[in-house]
Amino acid sequence: MGARGRRAAHRIRRVTVIADTSALVAFYSESGTQHDDVSAWLEAHGEVMVVSPYVVAELDYLVATRKGVDAELAVLAELAGGAYELAAMSAADIALAAEVIARYRDLGIGITDASLVVLAERYGTDTILTLDHRHFGALRSLTGEPLRIAPR
């Protein structure tokens, strides 16, 4: 194996986590047990965090209505500054998300939760950063595997 192959073999693989609104709201709350749990997990793991456009919309609304415009602008500045990887959703992704919603119709999930299942497949991860154990404990990946919920 050449030097290039040895370097590639020794690279540390960065794990990707797909972030749900609930975890990000707790993170930006800046106090409380849930904030502490999410912050500690992120600090310990340092994953690349992927955010769905639907999560961005929910997060923006919740921060603005609960914390005010200054807090909203601070969150948007972090998003715009590259703190997270902002995923796009294509028409095909939305069709897949609709299939997830149909498959789990009894859970009453919407496009936001379904988009995270689709993004987990695209990014090759099974980890969802969420406080919504009810939904994500029941949801499966597009291939039928259980999703890993963080923090636990």
Give, in order, the Cα–Cα distances in Å from 141 to each of 64, 77, 123: 32, 31, 12
Those residues whose C-beta lies under 8 Å from the C-beta of residue 132, and which sit 6 or more positions away, are 20, 22, 113
Name residue 150's amino acid.
Answer: A
Which residue carries 């921060």 as its tokens? 63
Q: What is the pLDDT of residue 37?
A: 93
Could you report the average pLDDT of every consecutive run of 10 residues in the chain (152 residues)? Answer: 42 73 93 89 86 98 96 96 94 98 97 98 95 96 96 86
Beta-sheet pairing, 148-150 with 48-51: unpaired
Q: What is the pLDDT of residue 68?
A: 96
Q: What is the pLDDT of residue 134?
A: 94
Q: What is the pLDDT of residue 8?
A: 40
Q: What is the pLDDT of residue 43?
A: 86
**Structural domains of the chain ordered from first start:** 13-150 (3.40.50.1010)
Q: What is the pLDDT of residue 14?
A: 59
Q: What is the pLDDT of residue 45?
A: 85
